Amino acid sequence: MKSSTGRRAATKQKLYEAAVTLIAEQGFSATTVDEIAERAGVAKGTVYYNFASKSVLFEELLRHGVGLLTASLREAAEQTARSGGSRVDALDAMIRAGLVFIHRYPAFTQLYVAELWRTNRAWQETLMVVRQEAVAVVEGVLRDGVEAGEFSDEIDVSLTAAALVGMVLVAALDWLAFQPERSLDDVHGALSLLLQGRVTGRR
């Protein structure tokens, strides 16, 4: 039997999934709380019990989704370190983890990328914070690699980290939208080759 905390977490997850699907389909403004409740299979009051407003729900959705992505990137890096892999191996594992996440949550990823370029949203500051948390995981691996002499000290760590995250996001969305016949292994292999050439300078 689930505890009240477990039930509430499950309800929130249903609301997240309903909201992200609807907003991806028809946009934030066109999506109503009634529709979110109906899609989640709960009463309208349940939405307001868990979230003060639709905007708060969406802000928490962004925190939740990017938090999952950040955790998967961090775990990929830590697992590589535990197994004795290099920093390039860690970045490669993070690329794969990012692709796995996006393949699992394509609607959320579309929303996240779209919202990055908007400037008039109430949750803009939150979005910038959670984006930086994800990028910071990649920055940490790059910084460690520079200090260990594995990467050139000429690289711009913050810009390179943002570029790697952006590469995975955009390439994965392109894959899912326009090249869905390709396997995850195929896409990962292509990005892995790009990583090897751009970061380590190998020929």
pLDDT in tens, 140-187: 999 999 999 999 999 999 999 999 999 999 999 999 999 999 999 999
- CATH code for 1-51? 1.10.10.60
Specify the higher pLDDT residue, 4 or 58: 58
pLDDT at 47: 92
Stretch 62-84: mean pLDDT, rounded? 95
Which of 37-46, 93-102, 193-202 shows the lowest mean pLDDT across its residues?
193-202
pLDDT at 41: 94
Percent of the chain with pLDDT strictly greater than 90: 68
Length of the chain: 203
Write the CA distances from 73 to 24, 32, 35, 64, integer angstroms.
24, 33, 33, 14
> Which residues, 6+ apart, have CB-to-CB distance to 109 below 8 Å?
101, 102, 169, 172, 173
φ, ψ dihedrals at 122, nearest 5°:
-65, -25
pLDDT digits (tens, 9 = 90+) for 108-124: 998 888 888 877 778 88
Helix (H) or strand (E) holding 185: helix 184-199
User: What is the location of CATH 1.10.357.10 in the chain?
Assistant: 54-195
CATH ID of 54-195, from 2.40.50.140, 1.10.357.10, 3.30.499.10, 3.30.200.20: 1.10.357.10
Stretch 73-96: mean pLDDT, rounded? 96
Q: What is the DSSP string of 109-167?
A: HHHHHHHHT-SS-TTHHHHHHHHHHHHHHHHHHHHHHHHTTSS-TTS-HHHHHHHHHHH
pLDDT at 164: 95
In whole angstroms, give the CA distance from residue 89 to residue 115. Answer: 31
pLDDT digits (tens, 9 = 90+) for 22-63: 988 888 889 999 999 999 999 999 999 999 999 899 999 999
Of 75, 73, 95, nearest to 198 (Cα)?
95
State yes or no: pLDDT of 85 exceeds 80: yes
pLDDT at 113: 87
Taking a C-beta distance cutoff of 8 angstroms, is the pair 66, 133 a contact? yes
pLDDT digits (tens, 9 = 90+) for 182-192: 999 999 999 99
User: What does the block give as tokens for 93?
Assistant: 């594992």
pLDDT band for 125, please (50, 70, 90 cuts): confident
User: What is the location of CATH 1.10.10.60 in the chain?
Assistant: 1-51
State yes or no: pLDDT of 1 exceeds 60: no
